[in-house]
Structures are given as C-alpha cells and as structure tokens.
Amino acid sequence: MDRYERVRVLGRGSFGTALLVRTLQGAGASAFRVVKEVDLDSLDQRRREEALREAEVLKALSHPHVIAYEEALLVEAKLCIVMEYADRGDLAAAIAQRRSSGHRFHEGEAMGTFAQVCLALEYIHGRRVLHRDVKSQNVFLATGPGSARDIVAKLGDFGIARVLQDSECTAVTRIGTPGNLPPEMCENQPYDFKADVWGLGVMLYEMLAFEVPFTAHSFAALVVKICISEPRPVPAVYSAEVRDLLGRLLAKAPDARPSSADVAALPHVRRAIGARLACAR
C-alpha cells in the first residue's frame, strides 16, 4: 500500500472501511482511487483465501457501468481492494438531495440511471456473478467523458458478491440489506440472479417514490410486508409503462420476474439507453 496516500475515510460498513486515496506512483500518479479494507482477522486461512479469490473475480470484471477493481492485496490481516473512484457520490445521496429539495426525477432521468445499472447486471450475470446487495447506496455516479452534465452510473461494492458454480445456479446464504431483501431470501429459500432483479426494482421504486417499497419497525414485520404486501403506487406523474415494469421487477415469485437480459431488451429500456448515449456525445 506504499503506492497510495490516504486522503480520508469515505464510509464504514459491516464489510469494511472505504478510504479515498491518492496514487503516488506510475502513469496514474495523483489520481484518486478507493481502497476498501476488509478485516479478515476473525477468519481462518481457508476463508481468507476464499475472500482473496473473490476479489480476483472482481478484477476480471470490465464494463463501463461496473466500478473497476484494479488490484487486491493482503496486508497483515486485512484484504485491501483498490477500485475506481466515482466523483459524484452515490445514488442514495442523489435521491436524498432530490427528496429534500422536492424536485422529483423526470422519468427519463430515472430510466437513464436504471438502464445503466440494468446493463451492469446483465454483464455480471452473464459471467455468473451474483451481486446480492443491489441498492441505491451501491450505485455510484461519475462524471462522464462527454461533459460535466454527462453522469455515468456504475454498480459497485461487490464485497458480498459470489460466483455461482453449482448446476442449479442457486445460493443459500442470506446476505443483503433488510429493506432490499426479496421474498425468497426472507423465507430462507434458495435464490438466484432474480434476487438482483428484485434489488433493481427496489432501486427504481426509490428513485420514483423517494422511499423504499417496504418499511417496518422490526425485522419480523418487514419480512411479512415483503412477502405478502404490495407497495404503495408510485406518483401518478410516471407512465403506465414504468408502473408495469415495477410490478414485474417486484413480483413475489422469482420465476415471475424477468431476467436482467430480458429487462435490458425492453423497448423503453432500450430507448433510455439510446437517449443516454446521445447525451454523452
């Protein structure tokens, strides 16, 4: 880690600490990066090696809407993952700012961000990587190459992602953010890539409604709501097309949800992608 100068702490979570650093050597000297430090002190050697292998999987991902992972290092009992820095913060902060100002996202804006994250999911799912915690806090915003008005959305924080190797393409470990958990995870059922599609739906709902679709005062009550209740309709200013999409993404049964590739192929999602590309030129 001698090649990096620590600037400040960006945040702390259950999976580690995120640091803003400045590179000191090489062609990218003085460029900012994010280092995620994950404490492995409580893990045995086998699990440490597993964590390092997972970080190696992240290094193999290369997509314009996925945060780039540059290297992974074991420093004493910490796994340090060096990744791209997004200079516009995260989507959760952008939503909070809009909520406080009372200015809703135009449908085109929301769909533009949604489409970019959908492309990221289509890409990682095609490589058999399951994110398991798709949410607005894990969508990062960066200034695009076109202009300061060009904002690129990038899916990141794959600290709990996993490559699925079994033939059923399902996982049984329940990991994620409580308010974003799909019904199958709440019920401790096996889950697959459709769990990420549910998270995509929660993210879109939050952009439109300025709140997550399900909230409660206890985890038990939240689980019941997620499994049997329907969210409040999003504001009527948004089109029936988007409302229908939300209904499909937040279907209780995983088999009733489209795949990320199916969502990316929808006409209104393709239009949003085209509009974003035109803006970037």
Binding-site residues for ATP, in ranges, read 36
What's the Cα-to-Cα distance from 78 to each of 52, 75, 91, rounded to whole Å? 10, 5, 28
Angle between helices 107-126 and 240-249 (to 10 degrees): 30
**Residue 193 CB: number of other CB atoms within 10 A?**
24
Note the Cα 261 to chain centre separation in Å.
16
Q: What is the distance between the alpha carbons of residues 191 and 185, in angstroms, rounded to a whole number?
A: 7
Tell me if residue 133 is catalytic.
yes
Residue with token string 């300061």: 148
Residue with token string 């769909």: 111
**Of the candidates 272, 279, 124, 132, which has an alpha carbon nearest to the alpha carbon of residue 207?**
272
Q: What is the distance between the alpha carbons of residues 245 and 258, in angstroms, rounded to a whole number?
A: 10
Note the Cα 2 to chain centre separation in Å.
30
Catalytic-labelled residue, pool 133, 157, 244, 262: 133
Catalytic residues: 133
